[in-house]
Amino acid sequence: MSVPLYLDHAATSPIRPEVLEAMAPFLTRTFGNPSSHHTVGEAASAALEDARARVARVLGMRTGDVVFTAGGTEANNLAVKGIALAALPRGGRHVVTTPIEHESILESVGYLERFHGVTSTQVPVDDAGRVDPAAVAAAIRDDTALIAVGHANNEIGTIQDVAGFAAVASAHGIPLHVDAVQSAGWLALSDLGADAIALAGHKLGAPKGIGALAVRGRVPLEPLLHGGGQERGRRSGTENVAGAVGLAAALEQAEGERAEAAARVGAQCARFIAGVLAALPSARLTGDPVHRLPGTASFAFADVSGEAVLLELERRGVVSSSGSACAAGSDEPSHVLLACGLAPVTAQTAVRFTLGRAGLPDDGPERLAALVADAVAAVRS
């Protein structure tokens, strides 16, 4: 069986060989607990702090701002719940977000509403999934404790005006949390102006099970995990040293390649999009046609089942997805596409293609577009 063309990098990417090599010593000989006060533990602690400093440099934050987590979902939970809960004694009981956020943000806000009396405002998006910073400003109240938004959407790839959100947040003295799980390695993160930034290692070439939340020290944060006080009291539990080293290595490599990879993959993806729309005039590109991640292309194919198209594509050696892997198994149409104004029946035709940093072969965009057209035609017939 030939190796399939994997186009679901928004769900996860393979581990980079260089990252595995960097992690190996901390899975074998340098295995100590970084909280232990002996040479073995101190060696692990030194590696952990070095990884923390390297992540902080890419994000434009201080070393002490970086909290290692078990992934992007935990990072978003810690930011949303931790900042909002810390604000409750000071009267902060309101969160501003959008309807197209990752489930880890939306469900965290839902938890705060159910159990802590917090209220929220979801700022609407346009049909391309973009949010107007002026609408964010209009949603702010006297008791707003947090603004939580995604830098780039995981389903449609739309990039938000985070600088505009940061200006609004700063003017009102409200912390801004940015979910950068999808944008890391594709977009610059050092000048976002955010107070908290979430990352996930497995989108960058590090293993699953490691992530980070960088949250500025001035922002009060209630921990979700209590215990031994690791991570400066913000996230107790013995740290995943090897994972932290892997995340730092993957983030640095992705950042070093970012400008070149974004330009090259973006050009390939544009050719692919043009080919699909030319071959299938009834197809609709979802998300913003300009402000989008370089490697993301999501389509709604009229009058076909998106899941059926996925099966036909896999028969042709192409692995893609119908949307967020975190919603896998759900029969409900994408909440992102519904918020962008698509009818439920249309939203269920969606297929998402997300390229990795290696991109496609030289003739790949056109061949891929032809395979997509064949798959859709097979389903329709």
pLDDT in tens, 316-347: 999 999 865 554 455 689 999 999 999 999 99
- Reading across the β-sheet that carries 94-97, which strands appear in turn? 66-69, 211-215, 196-200, 176-179, 144-150, 94-97, 119-122
pLDDT for 239-272, tens place per residue? 999 999 999 999 999 999 999 999 999 999 999 9
pTM: 0.96
Three-state secondary structure string covering 296-362:
EEEEECCCCCHHHHHHHHHHCCEECECCCHHHCCCCCCCHHHHHCCCCHHHHCCEEEEECCCCCCCC
Map residue 81 onto helix, strand or coil: helix
Q: Compute the C-alpha angle 310/312/318, nearest 5°.
A: 70
Report the pLDDT value the prediction gives residue 330, as an integer from 0 to 100.
56
Kindly indicate whether the domain formed by 5-12+258-380 is annotated with CATH number 3.40.950.10: no
Q: Give the span between the Cα atoms of 363 and 310, in whole angstroms.
A: 22
Number of C-beta neighbours around residue 336 at 10 A = 29
- Sorted by sequence, the CB contacts under 8 Å of residue 152 that are 6+ apart come out as 158, 159, 160, 180, 182, 183, 186, 187, 292, 293, 296
Provide the residue type at 138 as one letter. Answer: A
Given a contact cutoff of 8 angstroms between Cβ atoms, the answer to whether 197 and 163 are in contact is no
In the structure encoding, which two tokens stand for residue 353, read together?
């293609």
CATH 3.30.2020.10 describes domain 17-253: no
Mean pLDDT by 10 residues, the chain (381 residues): 82 97 96 95 97 98 98 98 98 98 98 98 98 98 98 98 98 98 97 97 98 97 97 96 98 98 98 98 96 97 93 97 61 92 95 97 95 96 87
Options 326, 338, 370, 378, the catalytic residue:
326
State the Cα–Cα distance between residues 79 and 71, nearest whole angstrom: 12
Residues of the chain with CATH 3.40.640.10: 17-253
Give 53: exposed, middle or buried? Use CB within 10 Å, 0-12, 13-18, 19+: middle
Which residues make up the CATH 3.90.1150.10 domain(s) of the chain? 5-12+258-380
Using alpha carbons, select from 70, 80, 353 the residue that is nearest to residue 230.
Answer: 70
Which residues, at least 6 apart from 168, have a Cβ–Cβ distance to it below 8 Å?
Answer: 133, 136, 137, 140, 147
Say what the pLDDT of residue 322 is.
86
Concerning whether 269 is annotated as a catalytic residue, the answer is no
Separation CA 85–CA 136 (nearest Å)? 21
Rounded (10°) angle between helices 241-279 and 364-380: 70
pLDDT at 339: 98
